[in-house]
Every structure is written in structure tokens, then in C-alpha cells.
Amino acid sequence: MKQERDIRAGIIANDIVKLADALDNAHNLDDAWRIINKALQYLSAKDTMYKMKMDIKNAKKEERN
């Protein structure tokens, strides 16, 4: 069974563009960048952990074969 693709990242990306267009001063732009950047760091770390977990799982499978 094929897993449905999650569309939330696209929605968030569009919202970030709308936010950037709506912000009109350096202070608000800096705050938005800092907050969104932290969230992206978290997403990146979780992505890395997931990929490492899958690599370890696949390596263990290969050892058994």
C-alpha cells in the first residue's frame, strides 16, 4: 500500500512566504527568521535521526543475510 504524501510542508512554506511579504521592518523579519530557523534545525535533526535509525536497521538486516 502506497503511503499518502504529507502536504503540510508545502502549506507551511507558502505561509512563510506570505509572512515574509507581510513583514515590513528589520526587527520583525529578524524575529521571524530566528524562530523559523530554530524550527528548521529541529526538523533537520529529526530527519537525520530517522535516516540514521533506518541505516542501522538496514545494516542489521544485511548482517542476518
H or E stretch at 28: helix 26-64
Phi-psi region of 3 (alpha: psi -120 to 50; beta: other; left: phi over 0): beta
Q: How many residues does the chain have?
A: 65
CA quadruple 58, 45, 42, 12: dihedral positive or negative? negative
Per-residue pLDDT tens digits for 49-63: 999 999 999 999 888
| pTM summary value | 0.78
Report the pLDDT averaged over residues 33-60.
97
Segments of 1-65 assigned E as strands: none
